[in-house]
Amino acid sequence: MNSNRILIIDDQPEMRQKIDKWLTSGGFATTHAGNAAEALATIEKMNFSVILLDLKLPDMDGYELLKQLHSDYPDICIIVFTGYTNLYDPEMARRNGAFDFFSKPIDFNLLDKKIKLAIEYFRRNLESYFQLEEARRNYQFSNIIGASAGLMQVFEEIKALSQTDESVLILGETGTGKELVAHALHTHSKRAKNPLIIVNCSALPENLAESELFGHEKGAFTGADQRKIGKFERAHQSSIFLDEIGELNGILQPKFLRILQNKSFERIGGKEELQTDVRIIAATNRNLLQSIEENSFREDLYHRLERFVINIPPLRERTEDIPLIVDHVIKTYNGIYGKSIEKIATSSLEKLQRYSFPGNVRELENIVIRAMLFEKSNTLHLDNIAEKTAAENDPSGNNVFTGKTFREARFLFEKQYFGDIIRKTGGNISKGARLAQMDRGHFRDKLKDLGLYPNKNGENDDENDIAPAKIQDNEHIPT
């Protein structure tokens, strides 16, 4: 995101020019829109960190546009203004997603302060207020569904560890809910007032990983034209979740160990030792002991992480939780899809309980959601889908995962899972990320890893993949 790019939405050309002149003289990049339709089309093509929105527009009520923008682009800061003070309701503006507001005539010095405050806020907190509230609503114990003995043990460990600042290592297969556990640990801790910072170690570009995690000083390397604040520094007085820690670059492991031991680090190109008060939560589905034997993971780092471990049992070991999870998914997505499904057919549930679920809870949710889209009655039937997934047979009768390494099997599952999501959401990345309960950047990176996101030339290497057309980072993948 260009942290200095601002969209000005106002139906008066002279006002747009006046605001533009002030902002560009201050070093901001600006774009104009004279009505709601023009604004929405512009946001589809470009990224913005701040929107200045006049509530009086010719083609749409300003509050409705504010509500839509906040819903579709929760990471953009919206500052509203109007000259019609009798129609202006600050409380309504807040409820519909306004970050700040002011009245005309414009006090440009005040406007400058508001914009700089907004940019600084979003620069340091890319997990926006909206995402923080989403975490507080969605990542409670009630959203980690189940009543099995194995899951009850996980709940007890979360309750105990959330009250400490101890580092935690979460172990579990793909799709078991490691990120949900991390959010629960953070949400119930004293650090919950600050957003959880999420890092997918497997998605970090090798040449940028150190800068992403630890930051860099201006001029530290070619292209470093300004200081960058890294993830660990942004996580000060909060928690950081390092997903797939087993994939962390070996060169970075000593620096990570230093964070664990001393809470200190240096930016690339920096000479000052910096301190960060951060709580470390890590997760992996890899066998770290085997990685140690293969010399791909440091033994001293492993022993620092293994002090407190939460093991999440796979779904096949807690099949009694399947009915509860299915019921929760049905109730959640009835409202989303406008359905009135009351239950799942007994025969379908029995098939699910016989299935081994290599993709665990994530795969189960995917199966149920996919079936709900096509169900026309008040009873959910998974006959065709359940038969396919309960066997996943090739013509010879062999399971498609047979003979595959774990990584190969995981790749096959994830490609199907994320492919289904972008088809369901019409290629909308923000909606897809919310459906998967993932950070939007993490979701987009996963699509790129799986070949479901177009390359720089707008062409896919795999002709069977989705998204053949060039798109902007902003939102949509053609389906």
Sorted by where each begins, the domain ranges of the chain are 5-124, 131-311, 315-391
Question: Residue 165 — very low, low, confident or very high, per pLDDT cuts 50/70/90?
Answer: very high
Question: Residue 408 — very low, low, confident or very high, per pLDDT cuts 50/70/90?
Answer: low
CA–CA distance from 27 to each of 23, 67, 116, 426, 454 (Å)? 7, 29, 11, 36, 32
CA distance 251 to 271: 19
Q: Name the amino acid, one letter, at 298.
A: R
- Between these two residues, 124 and 150, which has the higher pLDDT value? 150
Least confident of 64-73, 98-107, 324-333: 98-107
In this predicted structure, what is the pLDDT of residue 438? Answer: 80
From the options 1.10.8.60, 3.10.20.30, 3.40.50.1580, 3.50.50.60, give the CATH code of 315-391.
1.10.8.60
pLDDT per position as a tens digit, 197-255: 999 998 888 788 899 999 998 888 888 888 888 899 999 999 999 999 999 988 899 99
pLDDT per position as a tens digit, 369-378: 989 988 999 9
Beta-carbon contacts of residue 66 (< 8 Å; ≥ 6 apart): 53, 55, 78, 80, 93, 96, 97, 98
CA distance 354 to 356: 7
SS3 279: strand
Over 90: is that where the pLDDT of 182 sits?
A: yes
In this predicted structure, what is the pLDDT of residue 462? Answer: 34
Q: What's the token pair of residue 98?
A: 């306004």
Over 70: is that where the pLDDT of 407 sits?
A: no
CA distance 291 to 124: 34
Using alpha carbons only, how large is the chain's radius of gyration in Å?
Answer: 24
Concatenated DSSP letters for 303-336? HHHTTSEEEPPPGGG-GGGHHHHHHHHHHHHHHH
pLDDT > 70 fraction of the chain, expressed in percent and rounded:
82
In this predicted structure, what is the pLDDT of residue 124? Answer: 55
Q: What's the token pair of residue 40?
A: 């929405």
Over 70: is that where the pLDDT of 476 sits?
A: no
pLDDT per position as a tens digit, 128-145: 444 445 544 554 465 788
Q: Which of 75-79, 88-92, 155-159, 416-420 has the highest mean pLDDT?
A: 155-159
Over 70: is that where the pLDDT of 354 sits?
A: yes
CA distance 157 to 391: 35
Least confident of 34-43, 204-213, 246-255, 470-479: 470-479
pLDDT per position as a tens digit, 318-338: 999 999 999 989 998 998 888
In this predicted structure, what is the pLDDT of residue 368? Answer: 94
CA–CA distance from 105 to each of 14, 60, 85, 109, 364 (Å)? 13, 22, 11, 12, 56
Least confident of 110-124, 238-252, 416-430, 456-470: 456-470
Helices (H), 73-223: 90-95, 108-124, 129-138, 149-161, 178-187, 209-214
Over 50: is that where the pLDDT of 469 sits?
A: no
Q: What number does CATH give the domain 5-124?
A: 3.40.50.2300
Q: Name the amino acid, one letter, at 80.
A: V
Domains 5-124 and 131-311 share a fold: yes
pLDDT > 90 fraction of the chain, expressed in percent and rounded:
38
pTM flag (> 0.85): no
Average pLDDT over residues 301-305: 93
In this predicted structure, what is the pLDDT of residue 467? Answer: 39
Q: What angle do helix axes 13-25 and 108-124 make, rounded to 10 degrees?
A: 60
Beta-carbon contacts of residue 302 (< 8 Å; ≥ 6 apart): 288, 289, 292
In this predicted structure, what is the pLDDT of residue 473? Answer: 36
In this predicted structure, what is the pLDDT of residue 62? Answer: 84
Enumerate the β-bridge partners of residue 228: 216
**Fold that domain 131-311 belongs to in CATH:** Rossmann fold (3.40.50)
Question: Residue 38 — very low, low, confident or very high, per pLDDT cuts 50/70/90?
Answer: very high
| Backbone CA torsion sign across 470, 473, 475, 479 | positive
| Backbone CA torsion sign across 282, 180, 436, 343 | positive
In this predicted structure, what is the pLDDT of residue 157? Answer: 95
| Backbone CA torsion sign across 414, 420, 422, 424 | negative
